[in-house]
Each structure stands twice: as C-alpha cells, then as structure tokens.
Amino acid sequence: MSTFEIGTRLETQRGARTGRPLGRTGVVHTPHGDIRTPAFVPVGTKATVKTVLPELVADLGAQAVLANAYHLYLQPGADVVDEAGGLSVFMNWPGPTYTDSGGFQVLSLGSGFKKVLTAEYANKGAGRADVSTAKADRERLAQVDDDGVWFRSHLNGSKHRFTPEVSMGIQHQLGADIMFAFDELTTLLNSRGYQVESVERTRRWAERCLAEHRRLTEARVGKPYQQLWGVIQGAQYEDLRRKAAHDLGGMEIDGQRFDGFGLGGALEKERLGAIVGWMTEELPDEAPRHLLGISEPDDLFAAIEAGADTFDCVNPSRVARNGAIYSEDGRFNVTRAQFTRDFHAVCPDCECYTCTHYSRAYLHHLFKANEGLAATLATIHNEYFTVHLVDDIRASIESGTYDEFKKETLNRFYAGGWGRR
C-alpha cells in the first residue's frame, strides 16, 4: 500500500507549468494510524505539548504530534527513548509521530540568531536590526562544513557533532513514523551566493540520509518502517526552490527514495503561496508535503491552495502561555482588565474542553495569579482552534465549498485588522 493517497483536488490554484491543481486532500498511512490531510500537527518539542497531557492532545482532535530530534538527543537521549519502546510509547501517544532532523535547532539555538530566524518569517525584515548585536555579543556556537555541523548545547555549552548519518541514527532510535532528512537552515539574511552553496550542500546531505536510512532500516530488524521525507530549501529564490525540489523529488540511492517532503527554510510571508507552489510543482504528485512552522489562518489557506498537506508550528501553544487566545473573530489577550468580570465562555462558539467548562474571568484570574493551569487551558483551546480550522478547510474542499469558507473565515478573523502584517 502506498504511504499517501490523494483525495479531492482543489481547483482554486493550478501550477503554472503543469496546469494541474496544486491543493488537495489525502491520507498519509503510518504504522500508528492514518493522517487525513490537510492536517495541523501540534509540536511536542521534548515529547510533550507543553502543559497539556498527551491524552488531552488526542481529545482535542490532533491526529499526530511532532517532536524534536535536537532536544531529545540532548535530553534524555535518543537511546533512552529507544529503550522505552520509541517515541509513541515513551510519551503515551497512540497516534502517528513526526521528528524533525534537528537542523533548525542546531543552527538557530546554536548560532545565537534565534530571534532573527523566528522573527523574519513573521514580518519581512523583522529582526534584522539585531544581527550586528548578535554577531558582536555572542560567539557563533554552530559551525557548518560540508560534512556536517559542530554546535554547542544551549543547555550547558557542551560540544556536539551532527551529520546526516548522526541525525538518521538519532531519529531511528526515536522511532517516529515520519522523520526528516538533515538539511542546512539558512535565513533571508544570507546572500544568494551562500544560498546556492547551501542548497547544494543540503542535496549532498540528502543523498547521505537516504543511504543511511536504508542501512538502518535493514539493520533494525522487526521495527516498523519509518518514512523519510527530504527537506527543500532555497529561501526566496524561485530557481533555487525549483532546483532543490526537482533534485530531491527524483533522488534515488540504492533503490531508496524519499517518502515525502518537508518545505523548509525562511519564507517571505507575503509570497508564501507562490514559494510553496514553486516547490510542489516540481515534486512528485503522489508524495505528501509538510510545511514546517506555520499556523496563522491566512498562511494555512495560502499553503493548502499551493499544495502543502500537513503543517506544524509552536505558535498556538507559545502565545497561549502568555494569555493570547485565538477566536473566530481574531486573537485577543485574556489578561486584559476588561475580562476580570466576563463570565462568558472563553470563546462561546468553541466546543473545546476549555470553552465548555471555563469562563474568561476564570482564565483571566489564573493568569493574574500565575497559576500553571492558565497555560494548560489556553493551550488546549489554541491547539483545538488550529487543528479544527485545518479540519474544516479539508471538509470544505471535500464538499466543494472551499471558496466560500475561506472568504467567510478570513473576513471574520481579520475584520479588526489583526494579523495583517
């Protein structure tokens, strides 16, 4: 059986070269169950979605979770997770799991440029004023060469080495259903010349990942097959994005091909749909595509139209811990004084556990009292909102009501101008 089955095609956007519809529904098959796509995948960085029990993540409707190879390598160690029976057993999560390669964290946390790497996606040019300060004030803790990356742990400064083979070894031990090839993360601040070098380096690393994946799959007899997805880089350059997608899409080493693809790297928000489309046009139609690091409603619609199938992002849980709540009418901060005596449900139209049991006033109180339950309840709601938004997009594609649903959803969410960066 194929690892991915295509369902309903979305006619809204067609490839400029192929003429075929880019958006679609589908099903990703894994040993721990199917993922109906499009789907949002909550991030459980250290084998936990912060502040929320895995059982509640399942209850809120998530089909899969994504954990991080870098963090689990440093703590508790991939060997510990392997001995426990793999990621699903270790964190008591019954469904499919993803692990990323660790490349993003090695080069962001390890480089001292985390703010630049994360901020520039949200707003073109954001964070650029911090670059000179970062260079002056901090030693660059990650050093890239053609073989791999030396980096220092953000926990204690200890020195470590990641190569494609090391990343594959870690991810095989973690045992996720879907894992990603080791790639070099670049930012929009890098020159075109460096982007060209990096795309070629990532291509060579992809070949090594395929070879090592095949070797480890054959060596770890009795283990369920883990899908390996290649990661496409190329920043904002169409020719580099298309070349990278074409190269990895057709890559085969000793009979091993990529089972799917990650659409990675820094993306200019205002061109997100176009950039995703450049890649999906060049990739095999029968392979699933995962867009790393987005969760805002307008980005999700744009990416789905352009052919992305699954998504992950830390943002729903991260902003929840600061009191930011997503609703159909935009985002609001429940810590504001106006909610002190607001005894309505957090979001009256929402059916999540938080909104069916608690009021805005209670959540406001928890945040003001610095109670840990505040983050738990807010995170449950934000993850539910994002998971179900993508579920509803999928349902609208299947029912033929996508255009109407998109217009209604975005007009309502951004009516007050929130989020239009």
Query: Which one, of 58, 137, 67, lies nearest residue 97 by Cα?
Result: 67
Categorise residue 315: left if φ over 0, alpha if ψ from -120 to 50, beta otherwise: alpha
| The pLDDT value given to residue 416 | 64
For the chain, helix (H) and strand (E) counts, in that order, are 17, 16
Catalytic site positions: 100, 312
Is residue 379 within 8 A of residue 317, CB to CB? The reply is yes
Q: Per residue in 177-214, pLDDT tens?
A: 999 999 998 888 889 999 999 999 999 999 999 999 99
What is the reported pTM? 0.91
Cα separation of 316 and 399, whole Å?
27
Largest CA distance in the chain: 65
Find residue 253's DSSP bridge partners: 256
| The pLDDT value given to residue 3 | 92
Two structure tokens written together for 339: 């909610």
Torsion angle of the four alpha carbons 181, 186, 192, 193, in this order, in degrees rounded to the nearest 10: -70
| The pLDDT value given to residue 45 | 93
Cα separation of 70 and 104, whole Å?
9
Q: DSSP label at 111?
A: T
Q: Per residue in 85-131, pLDDT tens?
A: 999 999 999 999 999 998 777 766 544 444 333 333 334 443 333 33
Q: Per residue in 229-283, pLDDT tens?
A: 999 999 999 999 999 999 999 999 999 999 999 999 888 899 999 999 999 999 9
Class of domain 4-313: alpha beta
pLDDT level of residue 342 (50, 70, 90 thresholds)? very high
Is residue 210 within 8 A of residue 256, CB to CB? The reply is yes
* Average confidence score pLDDT of the chain: 90
| The pLDDT value given to residue 199 | 96
Task: Taking residues 377-404, report their average pLDDT.
Answer: 98
Where does the chain hold its CATH 3.20.20.105 domain(s)?
A: 4-313
